[in-house]
């Protein structure tokens, strides 16, 4: 990756690669997750521990089979099925993992494979009479074996006892001099057991070993999300320009405009519209609400039903009630805005004093005039008005009008005298 950060911590659609694999394992029903790391992978270990994973250290790194053996102590007396996953293969769905576990009902070891358009350096799954007989690495494969298009994803599942019994017999007699996990298939079959290849979709098996691979995985994820959104009844005006996060939720009959980006933690309710060139992150957009164009919703933004946020409006940690409107050129931070409130252009909630954030509360039906500055903490009452250009520094009662402007001063002839003086100064320097 040419990075100071370990590969599996690089983010894909809003979360690190290792979190993708952890989430799939949990959704597939895995009771425990053990992360095998090298001694140099301090950042990976710290992340895995923060996510609640158990740790096993592999040192030195002598192959995938050796990695699983290094986890044996952590596994302890666990009695059940074990799946081997790879933290750099993020797109494998939990439904696919479930199909691998299901195969263990009729076989001793199940291996996830896929039909590859270009098998290249992938290991090959060799079958005979519908049974998997061995996995062979491309570097060790014969010409006939290289012609096989059924490839190994790396994902493998077996019972604890059978897995470690086979691993104890694995040797490093191969082109890389490593202990291959894949050799357990041949060993189990040789010992009278059986193996089965479970076929998955090639798009799920994308491994990430470079920035280019990460971009390819991102593109595959986005394409899948766009397809699912369209199938679920969401309108994407230009699908290829809409970007999703891993957890984006769009309800039926939403309309998403061109060049919209969703960060993590977004839910858009039914019949809402996100107009072009908007960025939405950590936000809830209510039913029938409208956002943008050129709007930004930051974490903690909650728009009620039929609320309206227009162009060049930024909303952060703010709740807007039903039908509230901020049409343009406005910043709303750390605020609670009631129903049917109208926020005039250029309004700013002054929420930060350099040390602490403070809250602005605006009651139902209030009208906030153009270029109002609300210096928090402050409350504007229900049905109240603030005049254009007002700086609100104290609470406004219900049904009141607040006007806070400096007394205008007009100096006749001042501009003429100023220009004459400046021209003389300029002439004297030339």
> In whole angstroms, how large is the CA radius of gyration of the chain?
31
What is the phi/psi pair of residue 359, to 5°?
-105, 140
Q: Is 7 annotated as a binding residue?
A: yes
Q: Is 73 annotated as a binding residue?
A: no
Q: Is 328 annotated as catalytic?
A: yes
Q: Is 88 annotated as a binding residue?
A: yes
What is the phi/psi pair of residue 145, to 5°?
-70, -35
Strands 131-136 and 124-128: antiparallel
Q: Is 176 annotated as a binding residue?
A: no
Q: How crowded is the C-beta side of 93, counted as CA atoms within 13 Å?
A: 11
Q: Is 209 annotated as a binding residue?
A: yes
- Only one residue has tokens 């494969």, namely 141
Cβ–Cβ < 8 Å for 12, 214: yes
Sign, CA dihedral 72-76-82-85, equals: negative
Point out which residues pair with 364 in neighbouring strands: none
What is the phi/psi pair of residue 223, to 5°?
-60, -40
Cβ–Cβ < 8 Å for 67, 170: no
The structure tokens listed for 96 are 């696919």
**Cα 21 from Cα 29, distance rounded (Å):** 13
Q: Is 211 annotated as a binding residue?
A: no
The single residue of 66, 218, 259, 328 carrying the catalytic annotation is 328
Q: Is 317 annotated as a binding residue?
A: no
Q: Is 160 annotated as a binding residue?
A: no
**Cα 5 from Cα 38, distance rounded (Å):** 14
Point out which residues pair with 250 in neighbouring strands: 268
- CA angle centred on 7, ends 6 and 10, rounded to 5°: 95
Q: Is 137 annotated as a binding residue?
A: yes
Q: Is 287 annotated as a binding residue?
A: no
Q: How crowded is the C-beta side of 172, counted as CA atoms within 13 Å?
A: 10
Cα distances (angstroms) measured from residue 92 to each of 31, 89, 132: 18, 7, 21
Cβ–Cβ < 8 Å for 188, 109: yes
Q: Is 342 annotated as a binding residue?
A: yes
Q: Is 58 annotated as a binding residue?
A: yes
Exposed, middle or buried, 407 (CB in 10 Å: 0-12/13-18/19+)? exposed
Q: Is 311 annotated as a binding residue?
A: no
Contacts of 217 (CB under 8 A, 6+ apart): 12, 90, 91, 206, 208
- Supply the DSSP string of 211-222, one letter for each residue: HHHHHHHHHHHH
- Supply the DSSP string of 223-242, one letter for each residue: HHHHHHHHHTT-EESSGGG-
Q: Is 345 annotated as a binding residue?
A: yes
Known binding positions for Mg(2+): 88, 209
List the catalytic residues.
328
Known binding positions for acetyl-CoA: 345, 351-352, 388, 405
Known binding positions: 7, 58, 63-64, 88, 123, 137, 152, 209, 298, 316, 331, 342, 345, 351-352, 388, 405
Known binding positions for UDP-N-acetyl-alpha-D-glucosamine: 7, 58, 63-64, 123, 137, 152, 209, 298, 316, 331, 342
């Amino acid at each position: 990756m040419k990075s100071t950060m370990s590969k599996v911590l690089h983010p894909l659609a809003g979360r690190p690669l290792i979190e993708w694999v952890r989430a799939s394992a949990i959704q597939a029903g895995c009771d425990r997750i053990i992360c095998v790391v090298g001694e140099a992978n301090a950042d990976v270990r710290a992340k895995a521990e923060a996510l609640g994973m158990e740790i096993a250290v592999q040192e030195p790194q002598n192959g995938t089979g050796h990695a699983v053996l290094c986890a044996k102590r952590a596994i302890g007396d666990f009695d059940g099925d074990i799946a081997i996953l790879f933290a750099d293969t993020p797109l494998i769905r939990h439904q696919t993992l479930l199909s691998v576990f299901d195969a263990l009902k009729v076989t001793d070891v199940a291996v996830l494979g896929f039909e590859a358009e270009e098998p290249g350096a992938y290991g090959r799954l060799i079958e005979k009479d519908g049974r998997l007989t061995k996995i062979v690495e491309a570097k060790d494969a014969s010409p006939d074996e290289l012609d096989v298009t059924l490839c190994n994803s790396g994902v493998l599942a077996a019972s604890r006892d059978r897995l470690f019994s086979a691993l104890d017999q694995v040797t490093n007699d191969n082109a890389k001099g490593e202990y291959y996990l894949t050799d357990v298939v041949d060993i189990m079959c040789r010992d009278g057991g059986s193996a089965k290849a479970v076929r998955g979709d090639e798009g799920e098996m994308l491994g990430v070993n470079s920035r280019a691979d990460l971009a390819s995985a991102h593109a595959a994820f986005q394409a899948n999300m766009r397809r699912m959104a369209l199938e679920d009844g969401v309108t994407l005006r230009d699908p290829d320009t809409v970007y999703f996060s891993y957890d984006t939720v769009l309800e039926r009959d939403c309309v998403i405009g061109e060049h919209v980006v969703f960060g993590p933690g977004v839910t858009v309710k039914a019949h809402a519209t996100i107009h072009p060139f908007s960025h939405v992150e950590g936000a809830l957009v209510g039913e029938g609400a409208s956002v943008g164009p050129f709007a930004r919703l930051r974490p903690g933004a909650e728009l009620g039903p039929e609320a309206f946020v227009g162009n060049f409006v930024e909303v952060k940690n703010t709740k807007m009630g039903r039908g509230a409107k901020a049409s343009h050129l406005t910043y709303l931070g750390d605020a609670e805005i009631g129903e049917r409130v109208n926020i005039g252009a250029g309004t700013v909630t002054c929420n930060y004093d350099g040390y602490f954030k403070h809250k602005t509360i605006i009651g139902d039906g209030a009208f906030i005039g153009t270029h109002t500055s609300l210096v928090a903490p402050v409350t504007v009452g229900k049905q109240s008005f603030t005049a254009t250009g007002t700086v609100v520094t104290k609470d406004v009662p219900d049904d009141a009008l607040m006007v806070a402007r400096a007394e205008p001063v007009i100096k006749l002839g001042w501009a003429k005298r100023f220009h004459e003086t400046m021209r003389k100064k300029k002439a004297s320097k030339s």
